[in-house]
Amino acid sequence: PEHEDDHGLAVETSKPQLKPPSRYKVIMLNDDYTPMDFVVEVLERFFAHNRESATQIMLKVHTEGRAVCGIYTRDIAETKAADVNDYARECQHPLMCQIEREA
């Protein structure tokens, strides 16, 4: 932080060394039952993907078993995964997201 000396000038005293926060991937998992349209809607609603990127991610999950929906700080990633899981459950679909810390 800085403090002002008695001439009113900012003086550098110490530099806090803060490491950048870890980032977390929100990963969507495939299942056999959730409709493709619903997955696309979730990717648009919770991850701000447009129809084209939402469709690409949905198809990647469908064919490869999982895909990254977005990368966020821990709190945001946890909240998005929980929001998706709650919403899917409300709609009676087994769709699931999990989070994973970046390497």
The stretch near ligand TYC (CB under 6 A) out of 7-15, 26-34, 46-54, 76-84 is 26-34
Near ligand TYC by CB under 6 A: residue from 26, 27, 39, 77: 39
Task: Please tell me the distance from the alpha carbon of residue 89 to that of residue 74, in angstroms, as a whole number.
Answer: 22
Q: Is 41 in the site for ligand TYC (CB under 6 A)?
A: no
8 A C-beta contact, residue 32 and residue 61: no
Question: Collapsing DSSP states into helix, strand and coil, what is residue 92?
Answer: coil
Over the Cα atoms of the chain, what is R_g?
A: 20
Q: How far is the CB of 63 from ligand TYC (least distance, A)?
A: 9
Indicate the residue whose CB is closest to ligand TYC. 61
